[in-house]
Amino acid sequence: MRVDFYHLTRDPADKLVPMLAGKSLEAGKRVLLVSQDEARCVALGNALWSDDPASFLAHDFAGSERQADQPILISEQCDAANGASYIILSDGLWREEALAFERAFFLFTAEQIDNARNAWRDLAAKDDVTPRYWKQDGGRWVEGP
């Protein structure tokens, strides 16, 4: 499994999540978007609606009547009621449940770097996990060392 670590140094998660979710959908993958904070979940949902004024990324919140039909499901838990194979952990908290997915995106800020380092060390020690680090270079995301 692959875990992509995204170090948020310039833009907040609200700017990165629509790009990651959009590329995941283009690859034919469903997404579970996780944050432990309900207000943050709402903000991320708004970002999926408003990132590109010409379109939106279809999504809903866990517990909704049609959650199983959603290409992107936003939740406070790692329960993919939509059958997602990709997970975006948008709040800087690593969850071991993410290892059950095909691919994980782990977003963290400078304030959460210690947690990210611990997660990296633990995951790098696993034979079946490939961690990758991404950082912002101007307005682009580039893979770091």
Task: Centre a 10 Å sphere on the Cβ of residue 24 and count the other Cβ atoms it contains.
Answer: 23
Q: Domain range spanning residue 43?
A: 2-143
Q: What is the pLDDT of residue 137?
A: 87
Predicted TM-score (pTM) of the model is 0.95
Which run of H or E residues covers position 131? strand 130-137
Q: How far is CA 93 from the centre of its chain?
A: 11
As for how many domains the chain has, the answer is 1
Residue 108: CA count within 13 A, CB half-sphere: 22
Q: What is the pLDDT of residue 106?
A: 98
Residues constituting the chain: 145
Model confidence band, residue 109 (pLDDT cutoffs 50, 70, 90) = very high
What's the CATH code of the domain at 20?
3.40.50.10110
Q: Are 18 and 52 in contact (CB under 8 A)?
A: yes
The pLDDT tens digits for 115-124 are 999 999 999 9
The pLDDT tens digits for 49-103 are 887 766 689 999 999 999 999 999 999 999 999 999 999 999 999 999 999 999 9
Q: By three-state DSSP, how is residue 77 classified? A: coil
